[in-house]
C-alpha cells in the first residue's frame, strides 16, 4: 500500500482547496445584514426581460422589477444567470430559492412550482427568415422548427406539431435559435411575442408570420411548498409597485427600446474593434474566469489523476480494480452530463447547495483527472521493468523505488501529455457555461443576446481562445522535443 501520510497529504490538499473555493464563493456581503437573503436564478438571454447591459450588469423588465420589489420588501438576493432550463431544474433541486425568467405559468409547472401573482401577459408567435418565402404555418410541413429548451413557446410548438407536420430541434439560448433560422438551418422559431419583437427591432433578421397565440402569463416561481415567505414578499412588493406606477414605468422603459440605450453601445460602431472596446471588461472577466477554471482544474485533476494512475501499476488487485473503475466511469461520462449531475442531481439527493464554481471544478477534476490517470499509468508501465527490479535488489522499499526511480523516468514521458491535457481542459471549460459559470463562451452568449452581433462577437471569442491555445501548443511541442530527447 501507498504510505498513509502520502494519501492523507494529497487528499487533505484537495479537500482544503475545494472547501476554500466553496467558502469564498458562498461568503457574501449580506452575511452581517438582518434582511433575509435569497439566491434567485434568471435566464441569460431573454431580452427585454433579462439581458446583460452596461458593465456586465443584468437589466430588463424582470431585473428592474425584482430590484424594486426587494427594496419595498426589505430583502437581499444573489442573482445567478443561467440557461433557462438549467435554472428551472436548479430551483427544483434546491440550488436556487426562486426563478424569475419570463416563466410562463402552465398547469404542468403548477404541479411542481408555486407561482406568485402573474406579472405579464404574453402570447407566442412564429418567425421565419424573410428569404424563406414562408408566410404561414402550413408551409412548415416537413421542415425543422427551432425551439428553446424548457420554454412555454416550445411546449406550444410541440402541441401543434402534429397538425402542421414539422420537425423540431432545441437550443439553450434565444440568440442561437434565432441564428439557426436566419441562416437557414431551421425554417422557423417559436418565441414569446415581446421577446421576438425586441430581437427583430435590435437587428435579428427575422419576420413574424403569426398573431400571438396561446396567451399565457409570466410568474415568479419557487419550489412547491417551499420559500413561502419569499413568495409572499414578491406578491406584496409587486402589488406595491403596480399601485404606485413603478411597474408600468419599468415596462415602458424596455418595450420597444434599442439595446444601445442600456448597453452604451453605438450602433454605428459595431465593428470588431468597436465591440472589443465596448465590451472589454466583460471579455477580460470571461477570460480570467476561463483561466482560473483551467489552472485550478488542471491542478486538482493532476493530483487526482496521479493518485489513481499510480494505483493502476501497484502490485495489488484491489488497487487495479479501483483505478480501472474510476477511469472507466469518469472518462465514459460526457462532461456536460457529469456537470449537471454534480450541480443539479446531487443537491436533489443531499439537499445541500453546491456553488457553480465548485461544481465546475469538481467536474473538471473527475473528468480530466480520469484522462490524466490513464496516461500516468501508461507512462509508468512504459518504464523498463528492470528498473524496479534493480532498485529493489539494492534494498529500496517498493514505494521508495517508485518515488526515486520509476516516477522520475515516467514523468519525462508524461510531460507533453500534461501540456496537451491543459489545452483540453481550457476548451472543456466552455461546457461549464451550461451550469451558469460566466466564462469566455458564456460571455460571448450574453453579449450577443444584447447586441445581436453574432458573427463578430464569436469571431472575437474564437480569436481569444485560438491565441491562448496556440501558445500552449508551442509549449507542448517544446516539451515534447525537450523530454523526448532525454
What pLDDT, on the 0 to 100 scale, is given for residue 2?
A: 45
Q: Are 96 and 343 in contact (CB under 8 A)?
A: no
Give me the percent of the chain exceeding a pLDDT of 90: 43
Instruction: Note if the bond before 180 is cis, omega within 30 degrees.
Output: no
Q: Give residue-wise pLDDT tens across range 369-411.
A: 999 888 888 766 665 565 555 665 666 666 566 666 566 666 6
Q: What is the pLDDT of residues 128-153, one digit of tens each?
A: 999 999 999 999 999 999 999 888 89
CB 117 within 8 A of CB 188: no
Q: What is the pLDDT of residue 54?
A: 64
* Residue 466 burial by Cβ neighbours in a 10 Å radius (0-12, 13-18, 19+): exposed
pLDDT at 218 (0 to 100): 95
- Asked whether residue 47 carries a pLDDT value surpassing 70, the answer given is yes
Residues of the chain with pLDDT > 70, as a percent, come to 79
pLDDT, average across residues 452-463: 84
The pLDDT, as a whole number, for residue 109 is: 93
Burial class (CB in 10 A: 0-12, 13-18, 19+), 381: middle
Mean pLDDT (whole number) for 336-350: 88
- In sequence order, which residues have a C-beta less than 8 Å from that of residue 369 and are 6 or more positions away? 300, 301, 302, 303, 304, 305, 308, 330
CA distance 163 to 185: 22
List pLDDT tens digits, range 264-314.
554 446 778 878 887 888 888 889 999 999 999 999 998 898 889 888 877
**Alpha-carbon gap, residue 401 to 135, rounded angstroms:** 76
Question: What per-residue confidence (pLDDT) applies to 221?
Answer: 97
What angle is formed at CA 200 by the lines to CA 84 and CA 175, rounded to 5 degrees? 35
Q: Which pLDDT does position 16 carry in this prediction?
A: 54
CA distance 264 to 252: 19
What is the pLDDT, as a whole number, of residue 271? 78
Distance CA 203, CA 462 (A): 22
Terminal Cα-to-Cα distance of the chain (whole angstroms): 31
74 pLDDT band, cuts 50/70/90, is: very high
Quote the cell numbers at residue 443: 460571455
> Exposed e or buried b for every residue in 405-417, given b needs 16+ CB within 10 A?
bbbeebebbbbbb
What's the CATH architecture for 4-9+278-484?
Orthogonal Bundle (1.10)
Question: What are 267's three cell numbers?
Answer: 450602433
Question: Is a pLDDT exceeding 70 seen at residue 32?
Answer: no
Q: Which residue has the higher pLDDT, 257 or 36?
A: 36
| DSSP 8-state symbol, 333 | S
Contact 78, 98 (CB under 8 A): no
CA separation for the pair 365, 21 (Å, rounded): 14
- To the question of domain 123-215 being in CATH 3.40.190.10, the answer is yes
**pLDDT confidence tier of residue 27, bands split at 50, 70 and 90:** very low
Q: Report the chain's mean pLDDT, rounded to a whole number.
A: 83
pLDDT of 7 > 50? The answer is no
Predicted confidence band at 53 (pLDDT cuts at 50, 70, 90)? confident
User: By mean pLDDT, which of 219-223, 297-301, 453-457, 459-463 is the weakest?
Assistant: 453-457
Residue 236 has pLDDT above 90, yes or no: yes
Local confidence band at 258 (pLDDT 50, 70, 90 cut-offs) = low
Alpha-carbon dihedral 474, 476, 481, 485, rounded to 10 degrees: 160
Residue 31 confidence (pLDDT) above 50: no
Angle at 254 between CA 249 and CA 258, to 5 degrees: 140
**Which class does domain 35-119+219-264 fall in?**
alpha beta
Has residue 67 got a pLDDT over 90?
yes
DSSP SS3 for 222: strand
Return residue ranges of the chain for CATH 1.10.3720.10. 4-9+278-484
* pLDDT reported for residue 151: 87
The answer to whether 446 and 438 are in contact (CB under 8 A) is yes
Residue 443 to residue 279: CA distance in whole angstroms: 10
Strands 167-171 and 207-208: unpaired
- What pLDDT shows up at residue 51? 85
CA distances from 433 to 44, 308, 445 (A): 11, 28, 9
Q: What is the mean pLDDT of residues 59-73?
A: 95
Domain with CATH 3.40.190.10 in the chain: 35-119+219-264, 123-215
Amino acid at each position: 500500500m501507498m504510505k498513509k501520510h502520502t494519501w492523507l497529504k494529497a487528499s487533505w490538499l484537495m479537500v482544503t482547496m475545494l472547501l476554500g473555493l466553496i467558502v469564498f464563493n458562498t461568503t457574501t456581503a449580506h452575511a452581517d445584514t438582518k434582511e433575509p437573503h435569497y439566491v434567485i436564478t434568471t435566464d441569460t438571454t431573454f431580452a427585454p426581460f433579462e439581458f446583460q447591459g452596461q458593465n456586465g450588469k443584468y437589466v430588463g423588465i424582470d431585473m428592474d422589477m425584482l430590484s424594486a420589489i426587494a427594496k419595498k420588501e426589505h430583502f437581499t438576493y444573489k442573482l445567478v444567470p443561467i440557461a433557462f432550463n438549467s435554472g428551472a431544474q436548479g430551483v427544483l433541486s434546491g440550488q436556487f430559492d426562486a426563478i424569475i425568467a419570463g416563466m410562463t405559468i402552465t398547469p404542468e409547472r403548477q404541479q411542481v412550482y408555486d407561482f406568485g401573482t402573474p406579472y405579464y401577459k404574453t402570447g407566442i408567435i412564429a418567425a421565419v427568415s424573410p428569404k424563406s418565402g414562408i408566410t404561414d404555418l402550413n408551409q412548415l410541413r416537413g421542415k425543422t422548427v427551432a425551439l428553446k429548451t424548457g420554454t412555454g413557446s416550445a411546449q406550444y410548438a410541440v402541441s401543434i406539431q402534429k397538425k402542421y407536420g414539422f420537425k423540431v430541434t432545441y437550443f439553450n439560448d434565444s440568440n442561437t435559435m434565432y441564428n439557426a433560422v436566419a441562416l437557414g438551418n431551421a425554417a422557423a422559431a417559436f418565441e414569446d411575442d415581446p421577446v421576438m419583437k425586441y430581437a427583430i427591432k435590435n437587428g435579428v433578421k427575422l419576420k413574424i408570420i403569426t398573431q400571438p397565440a396561446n396567451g399565457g402569463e409570466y410568474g415568479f416561481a419557487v419550489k412547491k411548498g417551499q420559500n413561502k415567505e419569499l413568495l409572499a414578499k414578491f406578491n406584496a412588493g409587486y402589488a406595491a409597485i403596480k399601485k404606485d406606477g413603478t411597474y408600468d414605468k419599468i415596462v415602458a422603459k424596455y418595450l420597444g427600446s434599442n439595446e444601445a440605450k442600456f448597453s452604451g453601445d453605438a450602433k454605428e460602431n459595431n465593428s470588431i474593434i468597436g465591440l472589443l472596446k465596448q465590451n472589454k471588461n466583460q471579455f477580460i472577466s470571461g477570460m480570467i474566469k476561463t483561466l482560473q477554471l483551467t489552472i485550478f482544474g488542471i491542478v486538482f485533476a493532476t493530483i487526482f489523476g496521479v493518485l489513481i494512475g499510480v494505483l493502476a501499476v501497484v502490485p495489488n488487485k484491489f488497487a487495479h480494480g479501483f483505478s480501472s473503475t474510476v477511469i472507466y466511469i469518469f472518462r465514459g461520462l460526457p462532461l456536460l452530463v457529469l456537470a449537471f449531475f454534480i450541480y443539479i442531481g446531487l443537491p436533489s439527493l443531499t439537499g445541500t447547495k453546491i456553488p457553480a464554481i465548485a461544481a465546475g471544478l469538481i467536474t473538471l477534476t473527475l473528468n480530466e483527472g480520469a484522462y490524466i490517470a490513464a496516461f500516468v499509468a501508461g507512462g509508468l508501465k512504459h518504464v523498463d521493468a528492470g528498473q524496479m527490479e534493480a532498485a529493489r535488489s539494492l534494498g529500496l522499499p517498493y514505494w521508495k523505488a517508485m518515488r526515486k526511480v520509476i516516477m522520475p523516468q515516467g514523468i519525462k514521458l508524461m510531460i507533453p501529455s500534461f501540456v496537451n491535457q491543459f489545452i483540453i481542459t481550457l476548451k472543456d471549460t466552455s461546457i461549464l457555461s451550461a451550469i451558469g459559470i460566466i466564462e469566455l463562451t458564456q460571455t460571448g452568449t450574453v453579449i450577443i443576446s444584447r447586441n445581436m452581433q453574432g458573427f463578430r462577437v464569436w469571431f472575437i471569442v474564437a480569436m481569444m481562445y485560438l491565441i491562448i491555445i496556440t501558445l500552449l501548443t508551442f509549449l507542448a511541442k517544446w516539451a515534447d522535443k525537450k523530454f523526448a530527447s532525454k
